[in-house]
Amino acid sequence: MKHYLTLFLLSITIAVSGQNPAEKKLQWFTDAKLGIFIHWGIYSVQGIGESWSFHNGQISHEDYMKQLQGFTAASYNPEQWVQLIRSSGARYAVITSKHHDGVALWDTKQTTGNGRLSVAAQTPAKRDVLTPFIDELRKADIKAGLYFSLIDWTHPDYPGFLRDSAKYKAAENPEKWSRYLSFMNAQLDELQQNFNPDLWWFDGDWEHSADEWHAKEIRERLLTKNPDAILNGRLAGFGDYDTPEQNFPVSRPDSPAWELCMTMNDSWGYQGRDTLYKTPYEIISIFADVIGFGGNLLLDIGPKADGTIPEEQVNILEELGKWTSKHQEAIFGSRPGLPQGHFYGPSTLSADSLSLYLFISGRTGGQIMVKGLKNKVKNAVVLGTNTKIEPKVVGKISWSPVPGLLFAGIPEGAADEYMTVIKLEFDKPISLYRGKGGLQ
Q: Which DSSP string corresponds to 103-148?
A: -BSS-----BTTBS-BHHHHSTT-S-SHHHHHHHHHHTT-EEEEEE
Residues 340, 332: Cα–Cα separation, whole Å: 21
| Other C-beta atoms lying within 10 Å of the C-beta of residue 396 | 11
CA distance 298 to 302: 13
**Closest residue by Cα to residue 259 from 222, 231, 228:** 231
DSSP 351: T
CA 267, 270, 274, 277 dihedral sign is: positive
CATH topology classification for 337-426: Immunoglobulin-like (2.60.40)
> What residues contact residue 190 under an 8 Å CB cut-off, 6+ apart?
106, 108, 109, 110
Cβ atoms 312, 301 nearer than 8 A: no
Rounded to the nearest angstrom, the gap between the alpha carbon of residue 340 and the centroid of all alpha carbons in its chain is: 23
Q: Report how many helices (DSSP H) and strands (DSSP E) the chain contains, helices first.
A: 14, 15
414/142 Cα distance (integer angstroms): 32
DSSP secondary structure code for residue 358 in this structure: E
Q: What is the spatial distance between Cα 150 and Cα 369, in angstroms, rounded to a whole number?
A: 48
Per-residue pLDDT of the chain (440 residues; tens, 9 = 90+): 455 555 555 555 555 455 554 478 999 999 999 999 999 999 999 999 999 999 999 999 999 999 999 999 999 999 999 999 999 999 999 999 999 999 999 999 999 877 899 999 999 999 999 999 999 999 999 999 999 999 999 999 998 766 666 567 888 889 999 999 999 999 999 999 999 999 999 999 998 999 999 999 999 999 999 999 999 999 999 999 999 999 888 877 778 899 999 999 999 999 999 999 999 999 999 999 999 999 999 999 999 999 999 999 999 999 999 999 999 999 999 999 999 899 999 999 999 999 999 999 876 667 899 999 999 999 999 999 989 999 999 988 888 888 999 999 999 889 999 999 999 999 999 999 988 876 65
* Strand ranges (E), 302-435: 335-336, 347-349, 355-361, 367-370, 377-382, 392-394, 405-409, 419-426
The CATH superfamily holding the domain 24-331 is Glycosidases (3.20.20.80)
CB 301 within 8 A of CB 318: no
- Name the residue among 124, 105, 102 with its Cα closest to residue 113: 102
- Those residues with Cβ within 8 angstroms of residue 148's Cβ, 6 or more apart along the chain or in another chain: 97, 98, 187, 188, 191, 200, 201, 202, 203
Domain limits, the chain? 24-331, 337-426
* Cβ proximity of 120 and 107 under 8 Å: yes
Please report the DSSP string for 206-263 in residue order. Answer: GGS-HHHHTHHHHHHHHHHH-TT-EEBS-STT--SBB--BSSPPSS--SSSSBEEEE-
- The SS3 assignment for 380 reads strand
* Amino acid of residue 361: S
Q: Would the CATH topology of 24-331 be identical to that of 337-426?
A: no
What φ, ψ does residue 182 adopt, rounded to 5°?
-60, -40
